[in-house]
Structure 1
């Protein structure tokens, strides 16, 4: 089965999911590639439509064992026409629980034909120099695995005669899904006097939770705890306050040190 183009969709506030997606794309090695970064709020306002002769790759981070609730409206609006699709989840070396199964089921309802899935590890969003958790991942080994996965996806496509010959893939997970989709509403970010109001955190926030006039002000009702503003601050002016989030960062650092590797499903 030949495809005419590749659509790469990813949500990646801290860049880890983007790196995995780009590695997969290198392995697939398709000339016509459309990158769709739904981290940006304005992109999530646009509905995506795909065709049978395209390959769709959807990559999302795992939030508390689930697909981020923020993405559900956009995902459910996706309109596919028997499009061969790859579902990817990226988690912080703890567990991806039901996220891959949930993503698979959502994509199938939108008209996608799942040909493969994978779970990759990225640096935990709560990770810091003080409490490193899966620090530096995806690393060179992870990106090599991503390229290998992309090549295997391409090989599978070439082995399929037509869309009608795609069989279902089994991925781990339970239904009804466990975990939680409601995020904590906490005031957890401390801003020091090193902040220069450069605006990088404002531009990079995927939900517009940081005040456009004063980056010290954060709307905790909008915040999705991605920590992109902390990780991307060039002045290192943003840190976690003691409390619920800092405790979770400590647990992630202490309990999940054993390295987990990418897993593929075909």
Structure 2
């Protein structure tokens, strides 16, 4: 029996899509989803039971696990659970994020047995300067499903003579990137805005005023661009400035599609 607990932080939905692909491959007997994208979902720490398989997926910000969720992740109380670490990046590089997630799980009492790095459309991708537009593609999700199938197969071969063990994943420690993002005023709101409040509802940090969607607490904003993507009226766009410049730079330098990678424990 495989009882899976799937945890994701997924402002634009790409990480969640990858985890669903992995879930389809594992075919767990039971599944429980914990989406920690909204601020309220991060109020209580995660606690697991001994017989649960933990799958955790996060996006990569500046080559790291997002600083916003590190306190929540570090507060997890795990019971030697086998765990799958998944990071989703925007076709640039995932640098040390997978290693950072693995080490965090270890520190909380889990056993990271597998790790995967998948590609999702970059948060800064636009129609004019796309980067990994539309990803994860169906092929990416097929790869995620294959990853899940291989995990299930290996789990079925586990015995006292052949137990699970810690997986080796790429990365360097001390970590190279800075997980704290820019504090920058980069979102323009035009006259198409109807003040429907959807952007405030889906903001992962509660940075948008629910009564005045043009009002944003810059110190809370993590430049995930979820509000731009989700606006039903297409009333939110990037202002000229560092984020728009970064969008052009990513489009120019990282046009060649990267391929997903995954790693399994040996044994």
Task: Tell me the TM-score range normalised by the shorter chain.
Answer: over 0.9
Matched, 1:265 2:263: yes
2 CA distance for matches of 1:168 and 1:59? 18
Displaced runs of 4 or more, over 3 A: none
CA contact (8 A) 1:58 1:88 kept: yes
1 CA distance for matches of 2:161 and 2:109? 12
**Aligned equivalent of 2:11:** 13
Q: How many residues align?
A: 264
1 CA distance for matches of 2:204 and 2:187? 16
- Cα offset, 1:115, TM superposition: 1.0
CA contact (8 A) 1:51 1:82 kept: no
**Aligned equivalent of 2:104:** 106
**Aligned equivalent of 1:35:** 33
**Aligned equivalent of 2:153:** 155
- Cα offset, 1:7, TM superposition: 0.3
Matched, 1:216 2:237: no
Q: Secondary structure at the match of 1:80?
A: coil
- Cα offset, 1:163, TM superposition: 10
1 CA distance for matches of 2:253 and 2:211? 39
CA contact (8 A) 2:66 2:180 kept: no
Provide the alpha-carbon RMSD of the alignment. 1.1
Q: Secondary structure at the match of 1:165?
A: coil
Q: Deviations over 1:31-85 (max 9, x none)?
A: 3110100001111111111122110000000000000001111001100010010
**Aligned equivalent of 1:238:** 236
Q: Secondary structure at the match of 1:33?
A: strand
Pairing 1:239-254 to 2, within 5 Å after superposition: 239-254=237-252
1:202 aligned residue (200, 208, 216): 200
TM-score (structure 1 length as normaliser)? 0.97
CA contact (8 A) 1:84 1:163 kept: no
- Cα offset, 1:117, TM superposition: 0.4
- Cα offset, 1:167, TM superposition: 2.1
TM-score (structure 2 length as normaliser)? 0.97
- Cα offset, 1:164, TM superposition: 8.1
2 CA distance for matches of 1:37 and 1:207? 14
2 CA distance for matches of 1:176 and 1:234? 42
Q: Secondary structure at the match of 1:156?
A: helix
**Aligned equivalent of 1:91:** 89
Q: Deviations over 1:103-152 (max 9, x none)?
A: 00000000101110000000000011111110000011001001111101
Q: CA, structure 1 residues 236+84, in 2 after alignment: closer, same or farther (shift >3 Å)?
A: same
2 CA distance for matches of 1:96 and 1:81? 28
2 CA distance for matches of 1:162 and 1:35? 29
Q: Secondary structure at the match of 1:150?
A: helix
1 CA distance for matches of 2:162 and 2:20? 28
**Aligned equivalent of 2:117:** 119
